[in-house]
């Protein structure tokens, strides 16, 4: 595969990127603000307000989509429509990064009613500020390009709920259908400052399922009077291992993890029920569907084997689609990255994580591409995403994220396409 490295007007890109120098101090300050004011998924009220204020200050038009989503649209003549997406939510964790701007925040979790520590342990604050930086550059340099740039500030990525929510609140009426939908994530696995692209499956599909098992309680000394749900649960867990080991081709990527099991309170009482929390990963829809079918099949059969008096229940949640980068769009991004970043543009291995990124472009009928940005000088020692110590190097990460958005968008917006 070869990439055409002359997809954009080099001087345009240089002008747009040069804008970043003049906004650097402001962007770093804004980043630290967001980092210190992290908000839980679908509760990003202050974050959303601050984004709106930043857009207002620059006179960039936007509309709200749902409670905390924002869609900014810069119409700038004839040409392609490019959407850039940044997610904005944080996690319920206590930050342990040791940064002087580390989060001390807490927030009332509306789901549980508990006040919990919060932290941007997945780097969405970077995504937000990088997107604001790119919008600012395109908006201030409108004479350099032609077309429409859309900025999608998406809430609730961590709970797989934000993209769905924006679709439900009719994001389609808030923006034109884009020619391409672009997004990025700061990662510890790429060299610091590098950008990594990949055609095809780049993030796995995932779903979680809570399995409720009902046996029949009894005194621990009289198992024959009950149906032991602990043994049923254990048999299921053991049997689930055969899905990946026997039912999925070795060349396919699939994971079935039982992350939690809870049953019983006392050693000498056989409980009535048991609960499993299962998570899966797959890099194809067919495999994901197979995992779902196989889990239900095995759970049901083990309940029959044990003569459980009640059918097991399956409650699905955290369902993430496959992030399957469009080949043409991604090659176009890669060509631009190769041209601009040189050796810092590299291949991205499939990331064993999941995103709701693709839900909006799929709803809009747009091709998409999603890339990674290296956030740590030393990948060997970088904490993983969601680790409480996760806090990328401030720079060059903050600049690089905006640059990547500008360069990629220019592969359409300064390519001359539609601009004649």
- Tell me the C-alpha distance between 325 and 162, whole Å: 20
Q: Tell me which residue of 60, 61, 67 sits closest to 39, measured CA to CA.
A: 67
| Cβ proximity to its own copies, 195 vs 299, nearer residue | 299
Instruction: Pick one of 298, 344, 382, 407: the residue that binds its own copies (CB under 8 A).
Output: 298
DSSP string, 52-78: HHHHHHHT--EEEETTTEEEEEEEESS
Strand-strand pairing, 115-117 and 106-108: antiparallel
Residues 352-381 within binding reach of its own copies (CB under 8 A): 352-354
- 305 lies in the site for its own copies, by CB under 8 A: yes
Closest listed residue to residue 321, CA positions, set 372, 283, 351, 295: 283
CB 203 → its own copies: shortest distance, Å? 10
Q: Does 292 bind its own copies (CB under 8 A)?
A: no
Q: Which residue lies nearer to its own copies by CB, 306 or 406?
A: 306
d(CA 137, CA 141): 6
Interacting stretch for its own copies, rule CB under 8 A, among 81-89, 130-138, 183-191, 259-267? Answer: 259-267
Q: Is 231 in the site for its own copies (CB under 8 A)?
A: yes
Among 106, 253, 284, 313, binds its own copies (CB under 8 A): 253
Residue 112 sits in the site that holds its own copies (CB under 8 A): no
User: At a CB cut-off of 8 Å and minimum separation 6, what does 31 contact?
Assistant: 125, 126, 129, 394, 398
Q: Report in angstroms how near the CB of residue 264 gets to its own copies at its nearest.
A: 3
Q: Which of 28, 210, 313, 364 touches its own copies by CB under 8 A?
A: 210
The residue (of 352 and 416) whose beta carbon lies closer to its own copies is: 352
Contact indicator for 190, 396 with CB cutoff of 8 Å: no
Q: Is 242 a residue that touches its own copies (CB under 8 A)?
A: yes
Binding its own copies (rule: CB under 8 A), the pick from 49, 111, 114, 219 is 219
Backbone angles phi, psi at 197, to 5 degrees: -120, 165
The verdict on 307 binding its own copies (CB under 8 A) reads yes
Verify binding: residue 246, its own copies, rule CB under 8 A. Answer: yes
3-state SS, residue 215: coil
- Which residues from 269-288 bind its own copies, rule CB under 8 A? 269-271, 274, 277-279, 281
Under rule CB under 8 A, residue 188 binds its own copies: no
CA distances in angstroms from 296 to 131, 292, 308, 310, listed in the order given:
41, 6, 15, 15
- 163/225 Cα distance (integer angstroms): 49
Minimal distance, residue 164 CB to its own copies, in Å: 18
Q: Which two tokens stand for residue 179?
A: 């020619």
116 contacts its own copies (rule: CB under 8 A): no
Does the footprint of its own copies cover residue 291 (CB under 8 A)?
no
Taking alpha carbons only, the member of 276, 300, 280 closest to residue 288 is 280
Q: Shortest approach of its own copies to residue 415 CB, angstroms?
A: 23
How far, in Å, CA of 387 to CA of 243, rounded? 29
Establish if 265 lies at the interface with its own copies (CB under 8 A): yes
CB of 262 to its own copies, least distance (A): 5
- Binder to its own copies among 164, 239, 292, 394 (CB under 8 A)? 239
Nearest-approach distance from CB 100 to its own copies, in angstroms: 28
Please name the residues in contact with 113: beta carbons below 8 A apart, sequence gap of 6 or more.
Answer: none
Question: According to the binding rule CB under 8 A, does residue 142 interact with its own copies?
Answer: no
Nearest-angstrom CA–CA distance, 141 and 133: 12
């Amino acid at each position: 595969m070869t990439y055409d490295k002359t997809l954009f007007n080099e001087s345009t890109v240089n002008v747009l990127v040069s804008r970043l120098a003049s906004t650097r101090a402001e962007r770093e300050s804004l980043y630290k603000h967001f980092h210190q004011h992290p908000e839980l998924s679908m509760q990003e009220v202050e974050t959303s307000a601050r984004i709106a204020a930043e857009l207002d200050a620059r006179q960039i038009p936007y509309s709200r989509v749902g409670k905390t989503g924002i869609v900014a649209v810069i119409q700038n003549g004839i040409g392609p429509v490019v959407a850039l997406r940044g997610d904005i939510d944080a996690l319920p964790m206590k930050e342990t990064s040791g940064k002087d701007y580390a989060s001390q925040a807490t927030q009332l979790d509306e789901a549980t009613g508990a006040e919990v520590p919060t932290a941007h342990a997945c780097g969405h604050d970077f995504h937000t500020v990088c997107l604001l930086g790119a919008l600012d550059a395109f908006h201030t340099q409108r004479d350099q390009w032609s077309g429409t740039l859309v900025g999608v500030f998406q809430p609730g990525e961590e709970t797989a709920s934000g993209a769905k929510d924006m679709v439900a609140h009719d994001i389609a009426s808030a923006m034109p259908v884009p020619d391409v939908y672009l997004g990025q994530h700061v990662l510890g696995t790429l060299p610091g400052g590098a950008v990594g692209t990949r055609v095809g499956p780049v993030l796995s599909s995932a779903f979680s399922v809570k399995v409720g098992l009902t046996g029949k309680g009894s005194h621990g000394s009289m198992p024959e009077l009950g149906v032991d749900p602990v043994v049923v649960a254990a048999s299921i867990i053991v049997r689930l291992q055969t899905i990946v080991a026997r039912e999925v081709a070795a060349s396919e990527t699939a994971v079935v993890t039982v992350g939690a099991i809870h049953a019983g309170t006392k050693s000498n009482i056989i409980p009535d029920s048991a609960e499993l929390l299962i998570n899966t990963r797959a890099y194809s829809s067919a495999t994901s569907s197979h995992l779902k079918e196989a889990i239900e099949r095995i759970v049901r059969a083990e309940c029959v084997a044990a003569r459980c008096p009640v059918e097991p229940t399956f409650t699905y949640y955290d369902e993430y689609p496959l992030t399957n980068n469009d080949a043409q769009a991604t090659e176009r991004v890669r060509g631009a990255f190769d041209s601009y970043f040189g050796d810092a543009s590299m291949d991205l291995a499939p990331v064993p994580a999941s995103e709701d990124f693709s839900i909006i472009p799929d709803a809009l009928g747009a091709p998409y591409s999603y890339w990674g940005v290296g956030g740590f000088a030393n990948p060997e020692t970088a904490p993983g995403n969601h680790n409480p110590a996760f806090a990328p190097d401030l720079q060059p990460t903050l600049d690089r994220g905006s640059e990547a958005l500008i360069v990629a968008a220019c592969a359409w917006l300064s390519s001359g396409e539609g601009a004649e």
